[in-house]
Structure 1
Amino acid sequence: MLAWILVGGRLVLTPALAALPRPHLVVAADGGVRHAAALDVQVDAWVGDFDSSDGLTLDAPREVHPAAKDSTDFELAVSVARERGATELIILGAFGGRFDHAFALAMGACRLAGEGLKVVLHSGNEAGYPLLPSSPVHLALQTGQTFSVLAASPLRGLTLRGARWPLTGVDVPMGSGLTVSNEAAGGLLSAELQGGVALLTVLSEVRRA
């Protein structure tokens, strides 16, 4: 079952965003509820400590948590989605805003992928896909579309096919710039790992020569 998780980062209305599969369940994490109208969705659960949604009103069931809590609003929203049967998550509004929140969200998405969930991060003009040995990434991209593989740990045996700069079984240090700002060669981009954790990010626009 597919759930959309609405979080409080940037959201740009693009054809890539419009092409996303529609959800069976929508959970808003605090201020992420702002995106509901633009996405034309009904929120099934609104979760958080509500410190970033002052002045917002929405006819949706609320689950209120104290500000002094051990989980982020995003984590609380994911828990609700999983309790209701979600096995796939698209996290909308995932990029932009506070760096600490965006970083924790990206790393959390990689952890969830390691637990067997299918996870996509999206802000309309940018998308992210956890890349683990158990979760290869295969995407149909346009020629010249920019992508990066961000090494969240040392990577072992990274293979990229369908890229302007392909790789075969390459080890990549954590945080390396080696795999930043590559380009799709057109057709299917494939990324596979033998070991480690990474996030593959894609920009919607095509880089022009």
Structure 2
Amino acid sequence: MKTAILVTPLAKRFPVMDGADYIGVDAGVLHLLGQGIMPVLAVGDFDSMTSAQLEQIKNSIDIEKEPVMKAETDSQLALMLAKERGYEQIILAGAFGGRIDHTIANLRLMEYQDPSLILWDEGQIAFCLKSGVHALKNEYRNVSFFALEPTVLSLHGFLYPLEKRRIVPGDIYTISNSILDEEGTVIIESGSVLCIMTNK
């Protein structure tokens, strides 16, 4: 599977995966270079770095520079370019922890534009689950589920199990669960959910 990791300016850390390509989102490119990783691309309006920093990276990295006044966020542009380049798995690192409107925008990118997108930050991860059976490894302390549409959900191997429970987007009682053993099983009979796993 061809994987791209998009690194935003808020990414204090990011996943290191063999075979993955890295794309710097605006000043996120500086985090990559600081870790000795050469990105395949940098995209954004680059308003969060100095002109001297921008000139420094222009010589060695393929840059897609966009105007500051635009309809898309830098993360959205990076996602679009990654999809155009054929990446099947896309991880957005530094997706949380900054402005709440940017966090919501990243969640909406995943929920409505590319449900295969994974939002990643140090100590937490978010992704969408569609109909089917899914095994979740016990790598985070808390696991929460939020219906993206009317959904029938079963949870096996969790502290708070469910059996064919119907949940709707307004429900929040499926927050702060935990996996009991090495992994838990999520069965979605119909619908889809946002899953957030966190150690925060």
Normalised by the length of structure 1, the TM-score is 0.80
User: What is the RMSD of the two structures over their aligned residues, measured on CA atoms?
Assistant: 2.5
Of the three residues 171, 179, 184, the one matched with 1:176 is 171
Matched, 1:140 2:137: yes
Question: Cα offset for 1:113?
Answer: 4.5
CA gap 1:178/1:60 in 2 versus in 1, 3 angstroms: same
2:181 to 164, 171, 186: 186
How is 1:24-173 mapped onto 2 (pairs within 5 angstroms)?
A: 24-37=20-33, 40-54=36-50, 56-57=53-54, 58=57, 59-114=60-115, 118-133=116-131, 137-141=134-138, 145-151=141-147, 153-173=148-168
What is the count of residue pairs matched by the alignment?
194
Change (3 A) 1:141 1:40: farther
**Partners of 2:71 and 2:105 in 1: CA distance:** 13
Q: Which amino acid aligns with 2:91?
A: I
Counterpart residue identity of residue 32, structure 1: G
C-alpha distance in 2 between matches for 1:183 and 1:5: 28
Unaligned runs of 5+ in 1: none
1:192 and 1:46 map into 2 onto residues whose CA distance is 38
Displacement after TM superposition at 1:198 (Å): 2.6
The farther-off stretch of 2-11 and 30-39 is: 30-39
Instruction: Tell me how far 1:202 sits from its aligned partner.
Output: 1.1
Deviation, structure 1 residue 38: 5.8
In structure 2, what is the Cα distance between the partners aligned to 1:39 and 1:139? 30
Q: In the aligned structure 2, how far is the partner of 1:89 from the partner of 1:194? A: 26
The 1-side partners of 2:163 and 2:120 are apart by 28
CA shift for structure 1 position 53: 2.6
Look at both structures and tell me which one has the larger radius of gyration over its CA atoms.
2
Per-residue CA shift, 1:26-77, capped at 9, x if unaligned? 1122132243146542111111112223364434221111122222111111
**TM-score, normalised to structure 2's length?**
0.83
1:86-134 Cα offsets, whole Å, 9 max, x none, are 01111111111011111111121233544xxx43221121111212226
Asked if 2 retains the 8 angstrom alpha-carbon contact of 1:155 and 1:193, the reply is no
Q: Helix, strand or coil for the counterpart of 2:10?
A: coil
Distance in 2, matches of 1:90 and 1:23, equals: 14
